[in-house]
Chain A
Amino acid sequence: MLPRSSDVIEVTRLTRSFSSRKGFLFQEKVATDALRGVDLTVHSGELFGLLGPNGAGKTTLTKILSTLLLPTSGTARVLGHDVSREGSAIRPLIGLVLGGERGLYNRVSGRENLRYFADLYGLPSRDVAPRIREVLDLVGLTEAADRRVEEYSRGMKQKLHLARGLLHRPPLLFLDEPTIGLDPRSARELRKLVRTLSSEGVTIFLTTHYMFEAEELCHRIGILARGQMVACDTPSGLQQLVGGEGTVEIESREFEDSELSRLRSLPGVSRLLQEPLGTHLRVTLRVRPGDWEPSSLSGALAAHPDLFVRERRTTLEDAYLDLVEQETAS
C-alpha cells in the first residue's frame, strides 16, 4: 500500500560507513564514511537526479534506498516503509537498474532473463509472456529477445537492465548511472524512455555524472559531495546559487603560483578553480559583473605567453563544480 504522504522517499541524517583492512601481517582496520548525515525528500511522480563526483556516495545512497545495504545510522523511508526493518515490503514496489555490463545471466537469452525475474517478482503466470513482450518492445529489444545476452552490446544490456526494472510496474524506479558508457544515440533513446516513464507518473530516482542529463531530465537535483548533500533544488534554482556571476576561462600550458595568487586577488573575482585539460591547464574565474574589470587580467598575466581567454554565461555545471569544490576544500 502506498503512503498517504506525497513523499515517496524520506531520508533523515543518514550515514553509512564501510570498514576495510590495510596492511599485510599487522592489519589495521580502516573506516570510510560514504554517507555523512544525508537529508533528502523525493516527492511522488518526481524525476529526481542525484549528481556527484566519483566516490561521493551516490551508489551507496541508491543501494540503501533500494534495500541492498543497511544504513549505519539515521532513517530512510521508501514508500512509507523503513529500509532497515521493512525491506520485504519495499522490494515489490521498487525497480532497481544498476548500470553496466554486469547483472545479467549471459548464457541465456534476454527473454529468459526477464522470465526468471518475472517469477522472482511474482508476476501471475498468464501475465508473464505479454508483459515481457511489452517491456522488450518499450526498450526496443524485441528483435534481439531470443539471442543470448553474451551477444548483446553494452547498450542492449543497459536496455535489458531497464526492462527488468520495469517488469513488475513499480511506482518507484531507481536508475544508477543508466547512460554511462552508452553511445550518444543509445543514451538519447534511453533518456527519451526515462522521460516517457516520468510522464506516466513513475517516480524516478536517477544518479548520473552528466550535468546536461540531469538538467535535461530532472525536476530537482541533489548534489552529493564526500557523502554530504551540499545542495538540492530545481536546475534553475541551483543555477541561482551562482546567479548573476560571470565566468572567465583562461587556458595555458602552465601557471605560476604567483600568477594564480594575483588572479585570485583581482577585483570582482569570487572564486578560482583549476582543472587539467589534456596538456593544458584551465583556470576558471567566477566574477561579479559589477566589480569585474576585464582589462585587469592583462595586468595579472602580463608576462604569460600563449593564453586563451574567453568569457561565457555561468551554467548549471559551474554551479555543480563550485559546490563540489567548496565541499572538498572544507
Chain B
Amino acid sequence: MTSPPHPGLRGIRASLRLSLLSFVADPQWLIPSSIAPVIFALASFEMFRGSGPTLVLYAVLGASTMSMWGQTLYGSGWATGQDRFLGTLEPTLVAPTPYIYVVAGRVIWNVVTGLVGGVLVLGVVLWAYGQPLPLTNGLVFLALFLVLMGSLAAVGLLFTALFVYTRFSGFIQNVGEFSFYIISGAMFPVILLPFWVSPFSLAFPATWAVDALRYVGIPGYQGLPFGLMGDLLGTLGTSLAYLAVALGVFRWVEHHLLEAGTASDY
C-alpha cells in the first residue's frame, strides 16, 4: 500500500488510527456520553407511547443523534484538551500536516463511536418495550444515516476549533451539547419549538438530516415543510457551509496559536 497522496488523507488516517488505539487503551469515557441519550430516549418514549409503534423509531433516532453529537463534542474536545495536557499539540502543529485534518479524523471517529450510544438506546427500548422497528426502506435509511453522520462531523469540526483556540472551553461543551439536543429536533420535533428558534434549528445540518431520516423511516411523518429533497439539499448546503467556515476558522486559530504562543498551555 502506498501513502495517501494528500496530506489531509494522511492526517485523517493517522488520527483515526491513534483514536482507535487510545479508545482500546481507555474505553471508559464512552459510558457517560451514552447515559444521557438512554435517559432521553426512555423519557421521549414514555411521553409519546400512546402514539403508535413509529415512536420507537422516533425515540431511537433522536437519542442516537444525541449520542453521536455528545460523543463528537466531548470526544473531539477532550482529545484536543488532551493534546494540550500531554504537550502533544506543539509537536503535532510543527508537523507538515495541517492540524484540521488531525481534528477531522478525531471527529469522524467520535461520530462513529457515538453509534454505540444509538445501539444501546435501541437495545434498552426494545428490552423495555419489546416493540419492533417499523423500518421499511432500510437501504435509503442507512444512506441517510451516513449523511447524518457527515453533517454531525461538519458541525463537530467547527466546534472543535474552539477547543484548539482556548483551553477555557468547558462551557462550550455544555452549551453546545444541550442546546443541540433541543434545537436540532433530536429530542422534540422542531415544530413544537417557539418560532424564534427556527433560524437556529435550520442553521444546524443535523436538523435537516434527522428530518430526512424521519421522512423515510416514519410513515406519515409531518416534519419541515421542504420535503425529503429539501431536507437533503438543506443538509448538504449547511454541512458544506460548516466545512468552509471550519477551514477558515482553523487557519485563523492556528495563526492565533503561533502568535500568542499558547499551544503549550493547559
Contacts and interface: CB of A to CB of B under 8 A. Distances in A.
Interface string A41-77: 0000000000000000000100100111110000000
Interface in B75-122: 86-88, 90-97, 102
Contacts of B261: 18, 60, 63, 68-69
B25 A121 contact: no
Contacts of B51: none
A68 B86 CA distance: 17
A164 interface: yes
A73 to B, nearest CB: 13
A126 B2 contact: yes
Interface in A79-117: 87-88, 91-92, 94, 96, 98, 100, 102-108, 112, 115-117
B193 interface: no
Interface size for chain B: under 10, 10 to 19, 20 to 34, or 35 or more residues?
Answer: 20 to 34
B87 A120 contact: no
A130 interface: no
A124 B22 contact: no
Interface residues of A, number: 37
A91 B258 contact: no
A120 B10 contact: yes
Nearest to A92: B96
Contacts of A96: 90-91, 94
Given A92-B96, A104-B88, A120 B21 contact: no
B102 A124 contact: no
Contacts of B1: 125-126
A128 to B, nearest CB: 8
Interface in A105-159: 105-108, 112, 115-117, 119-126, 148
B18 interface: yes
A105 B94 contact: no
Contacts of B86: 102-106
Interface in A250-280: none
Contact of A103 (B91, B102, B255): B91
Given A70-B259, A119-B14, A121-B96, A108 B21 contact: yes
B100 to A, nearest CB: 13
A122 B21 contact: no
B137 interface: no
A105 B22 contact: yes
Contacts of A68: 90, 93-94, 258, 261, 263
A107 B26 CA distance: 8
Nearest to B263: A68
Determine which residue in B18, B94, B255 has the highest number of CB atoms from chain A within 10 A of its CB, and name it: B94
B94 A66 contact: yes
Contacts of A63: 90, 261
A122 B96 contact: yes
Contacts of A94: 94
A122 B10 contact: yes
Nearest to B89: A103
Nearest to A112: B21
A98 B258 contact: no
A63 B89 CA distance: 13
Contacts of A123: 3
Contact of B96 (A115, A120, A124): A120
Nearest to A66: B94
A91 B94 contact: yes
Interface string B3-20: 100010011011001100
Contact of B17 (A92, A104, A115, A126): A115
A108 B22 contact: yes
A67 B258 CA distance: 8
A105 B26 CA distance: 12
Determine which residue in B88, B91, B97, B263 has the highest number of CB atoms from chain A within 10 A of its CB, and name it: B91
Contacts of B87: 98, 100, 102-104
A100 B97 CA distance: 24
Contacts of A103: 86-88, 90-91
Given A67-B94, A68-B263, A125 B2 contact: yes
A112 B18 contact: yes
A112 to B, nearest CB: 6
A129 B86 CA distance: 25
A15 B92 CA distance: 25
Nearest to B261: A69
A122 B18 contact: no
B11 A119 contact: yes
Contacts of A164: 91
**A-B pairs with lowest CB-CB distance, top 9:** A102-B87, A119-B14, A120-B95, A107-B25, A103-B87, A120-B97, A91-B96, A125-B3, A92-B96
21 contacts: A18-B261, A66-B94, A68-B90, A69-B258, A70-B259, A96-B91, A96-B94, A98-B87, A98-B90, A98-B91, A102-B87, A104-B86, A112-B21, A117-B14, A119-B3, A119-B17, A120-B97, A120-B102, A122-B96, A122-B97, A124-B2
Given A107-B21, A120-B14, A122-B97, 5 more contacts: A68-B90, A68-B258, A120-B97, A121-B95, A124-B3
